[in-house]
């Protein structure tokens, strides 16, 4: 929308030169909770649609608890949502990596050096002589178990059969890791490692008819079920799954084995094994009675370079003794401005389907575009004067490529004071590298490096921290972090906030920080604002996009129930201390006027008044005078 930015106290000349923010009030939205998804639980948030948004204004909105999903801005109404969402940030210069975070970095480095002990998928063939003419294109892809060039058969410590068992065990461990992403409450439970056994010929004869093709088996599902029962006895509420059958609530070995078997479908395709769950066991069968034996197992490895220069399909199959023990990989991290790329969408779709169990019809180009590509942020190019980093300010996609293959994409916003992490999607084949943790470490390092060129860059924003959702607590592992007080918008150290949130889900954090510093408690803050809302366990999610079941609450109609209660009255008292909305900047077609300067249209002014009061309360007086409130 065109127009001239008013300069009467609305901001510095530097801010004005970066464009203007034009927003449309979407009112308040009510939807089922995207974290706990419990029946009857709901999330209420204020919403704005941004036609354009300066990086300075969005930075200030972040510091008032707002986030964006595409061009839609939202601020949870903390007092009434079942899973209160606190904005969390980290001062990058003070970051101290934990032992686990250091292990993630070392693991990636060993992977890139070719020294990480991750085995290459094996090719299981009916007849080695005839199969040499087959060149599987799957060998061109790097997978979570394909970083080694070969399974070394001459190491003197393990024979070939043992390596196959270890390989299958690693595949199951990888499936367990991915399944934990679906069963969010399992994140804090230490699960056992898988162990695959070879089924002896004598034992096969004792089994049911048709089991003569059974080669290997694992009882990992029984061990996982036992670990869950043990944790459940400590805290039964955390493992309650609403809306499921009794068998699912107990997570029986049978259910676990079936889910793991489904997650191993890719292994079945590449290894030509039949993988089935049977009464809690994960069984591996040969594809036919004459298909498999230990002697018919050969390594199938194809590097990208060797595939391109392959004169014959036969050269794509080489014995392990002819391959090096490891291959150095090259990691490249690219920063690009937010835009749609088919390769990124293909990776996003694979991630959503395999990690979050989305259906193909749910993961569409339009939904991806509106969620992770569209942005209202006005790009600010680099200036070279130390006020803007080399890449500029705005919305970006940070691509992670290994040997030219796209394996992860971090969706981020780079703002005057921070890097705001919005979303990360990655190739499930690389789950063993902990891409979420690794990308966070890289983003923190990016802030440290670019602070030299842009001193205002200091913070790493991790989105929302939800203490009632175990899966979201990982964000506090980046020390030392701070949480935003939902009432006074002050930053409170996490170490102070945590014991308070252990007792109550919604807390006016600054009250307790004030008391700790020896100051008196504000008289107008009621004790009721710290009451527990719910005790539900949520599902992991980053920035949430609009769901189909969301209900828009008419912005022109505020019920007394919505605006009553101690929480609302306190916020009005604190935020609107001047009692006026006269300086709110209004967008009327191509003109920009303060509310006090609007033409004397009684009907229009009365219609706007209640909406503007709410708008000023949720964005603050300063932003309401800077951003353009569009009347359409």
Nearest-CA neighbor of 446 among 491, 398, 493?
398
Residue 118: pLDDT band by 50, 70, 90 thresholds? low
Out of 34-43, 159-168, 174-183, 508-517, least confident range:
34-43
Highest mean pLDDT among 28-42, 322-336, 584-598: 584-598
Q: Is the pLDDT of residue 623 over 80?
A: yes
Please, how many CA atoms are within 13 Å of residue 85, restricted to the half-sphere of its CB? 29
pLDDT digits (tens, 9 = 90+) for 357-371: 999 889 999 999 999
- 597 three-class SS: helix
Provide mean pLDDT across the span 241-256: 59
Nearest-CA neighbor of 461 among 492, 428, 415?
415
Residue 326: pLDDT band by 50, 70, 90 thresholds? low
Is the peptide bond between 461 and the residue preceding it cis, with omega within 30 degrees of 0? no
Please say whether the beta carbons of 48 and 69 come within 8 A: no
Nearest-CA neighbor of 377 among 408, 415, 348, 351?
415
Provide mean pLDDT across the span 288-314: 36
Phi, psi values for residue 87, rounded to 5°: -65, 135
- 52 three-class SS: strand
Residue 124: pLDDT band by 50, 70, 90 thresholds? very low
Burial class (CB in 10 A: 0-12, 13-18, 19+), 471: buried
pLDDT at residue 329, as a whole number: 93
Rounded alpha-carbon distances, angstroms, from residue 311 to 128, 306, 308, 316, 489: 20, 10, 9, 9, 65
pLDDT at residue 128, as a whole number: 33
Q: Is the pLDDT of residue 466 over 60?
A: yes
Provide mean pLDDT across the span 395-423: 97
Length of the chain: 632
- Portion of the chain with pLDDT greater than 90, in percent: 40
- Helix spans in 272-427 (H): 304-308, 342-355, 365-368
Please say whether the beta carbons of 38 and 593 come within 8 A: no
Highest mean pLDDT among 147-161, 223-237, 425-439: 425-439
Which two tokens mark 332? 């490249």
What is the rounded CA–CA span in Å between residue 226 and residue 185?
15
Strands (E), 16-57: 22-32, 42-52
To 10 degrees, what angle do helices 494-503 and 509-516 make? Answer: 120
Which sign does the torsion angle of CA 139, 143, 147, 151 carry? negative
Helix (H) or strand (E) holding 394: strand 394-402
- Strands 394-402 and 591-594 come out as unpaired
- Strands 281-286 and 273-278 come out as antiparallel
Residue 319: pLDDT band by 50, 70, 90 thresholds? very low
Those residues whose C-beta lies under 8 Å from the C-beta of residue 294, and which sit 6 or more positions away, are 160, 161, 164
Q: Is the pLDDT of residue 156 over 70?
A: no
Which two tokens mark 403? 């040997």
Please say whether the beta carbons of 376 and 68 come within 8 A: yes
Provide mean pLDDT across the span 243-267: 71
Residue 106: pLDDT band by 50, 70, 90 thresholds? very high
Mean pLDDT, the chain, integer? 74
Strands (E), 72-228: 72-76, 86-91, 122-124, 196-198, 214-218
Q: Is the pLDDT of residue 133 over 80?
A: no
Please say whether the beta carbons of 76 and 43 come within 8 A: yes
Question: What is the number of other CB atoms lying within 10 angstroms of the CB of residue 166?
Answer: 16
Which residue's entry shows tokens 């972040």?
A: 62
Which two tokens mark 100? 């686990």
Which two tokens mark 248? 């699912």
Q: Is the pLDDT of residue 203 over 80?
A: no
Better-scored residue on pLDDT, 54 or 137: 54
Task: Please give the model's pTM, rounded to 2 decimal places.
Answer: 0.63
Provide mean pLDDT across the span 293-304: 34
């Amino acid at each position: 929308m065109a127009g001239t930015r008013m300069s009467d106290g609305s901001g510095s000349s530097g801010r004005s030169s970066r464009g203007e923010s034009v927003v449309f009030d979407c009112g308040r939205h009510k939807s089922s909770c995207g974290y706990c998804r419990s029946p009857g639980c709901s999330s209420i948030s204020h919403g704005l649609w941004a036609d354009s948004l300066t990086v300075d204004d969005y930075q200030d909105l972040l510091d008032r608890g707002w986030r964006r999903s595409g061009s839609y801005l939202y601020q949870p109404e903390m007092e009434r949502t079942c899973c209160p969402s606190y904005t969390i940030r980290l001062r990058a210069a003070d970051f101290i990596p934990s032992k686990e975070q250091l292990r993630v970095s070392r693991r990636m480095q060993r992977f890139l050096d070719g020294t990480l002990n991750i085995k290459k998928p094996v090719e299981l063939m009916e007849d080695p002589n005839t199969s040499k003419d087959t060149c599987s294109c799957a060998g061109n892809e790097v997978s979570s178990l394909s970083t080694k060039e070969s399974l070394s058969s001459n190491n003197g410590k393990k024979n070939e059969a043992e390596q196959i068992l270890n390989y299958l065990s690693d595949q199951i461990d990888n499936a367990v890791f991915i399944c934990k992403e679906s069963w969010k409450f399992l994140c804090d439970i230490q699960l056992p490692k898988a162990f695959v056994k070879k089924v002896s010929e004598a034992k096969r004869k004792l089994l049911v008819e048709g089991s003569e093709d059974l080669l290997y088996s694992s009882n990992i599902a029984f061990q996982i079920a036992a670990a869950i029962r043990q944790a459940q006895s400590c805290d039964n509420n955390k493992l309650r799954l609403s809306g499921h059958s009794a068998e699912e609530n107990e997570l029986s070995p049978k259910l676990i084995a079936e889910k793991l078997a489904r997650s191993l479908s890719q292994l079945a395709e590449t290894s030509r094994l039949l993988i089935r769950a049977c009464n809690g066991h994960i069984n591996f069968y040969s594809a036919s009675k004459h298909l498999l034996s230990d002697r018919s197992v050969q390594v199938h490895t194809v590097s990208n370079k060797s595939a391109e220069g392959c004169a014959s399909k036969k050269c794509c199959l080489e014995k392990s003794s002819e391959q090096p023990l490891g291959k150095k990989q090259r990691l490249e991290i690219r920063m690009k401005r937010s835009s749609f790329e088919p390769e990124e969408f293909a990776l996003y779709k694979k991630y959503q389907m395999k990690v979050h169990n989305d259906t193909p019809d749910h993961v569409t180009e339009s939904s991806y575009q509106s969620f992770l590509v569209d942005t209202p942020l006005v790009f600010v190019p680099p200036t070279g004067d130390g006020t803007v980093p080399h890449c500029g300010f705005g919305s970006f996609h940070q691509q992670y490529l290994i040997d030219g293959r796209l394996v992860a994409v971090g969706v981020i916003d780079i703002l005057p004071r921070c890097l705001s992490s919005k979303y990360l999607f990655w190739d499930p084949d690389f789950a063993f590298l902990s891409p979420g943790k690794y990308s966070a470490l890289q983003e923190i390092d990016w802030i440290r490096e670019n602070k030299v060129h842009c001193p205002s860059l200091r913070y790493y924003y991790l989105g929302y921290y939800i203490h009632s959702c175990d899966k979201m607590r990982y964000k506090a592992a980046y020390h030392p972090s701070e949480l935003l007080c939902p009432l006074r918008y002050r930053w409170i150290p996490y170490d102070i906030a945590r014991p308070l949130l252990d007792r109550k889900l919604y807390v006016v954090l600054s009250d307790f920080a004030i008391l700790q510093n020896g100051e008196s408690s504000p008289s107008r803050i009621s004790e009721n604002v710290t009451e527990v809302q719910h005790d539900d366990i949520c599902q992991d999610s980053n920035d949430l996009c609009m769901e189909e079941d969301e209900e828009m609450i008419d912005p022109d109609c505020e019920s007394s129930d919505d605006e009553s209660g101690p929480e609302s009255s306190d916020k009005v008292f604190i935020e609107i201390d001047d009692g006026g909305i006269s300086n709110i900047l209004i967008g009327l077609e191509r003109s920009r006027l303060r509310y006090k300067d609007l033409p004397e249209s009684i009907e229009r002014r009365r219609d706007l008044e209640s909406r503007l009061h709410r708008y000023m309360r949720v964005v603050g007086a300063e932003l309401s005078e800077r951003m353009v409130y569009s009347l359409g």
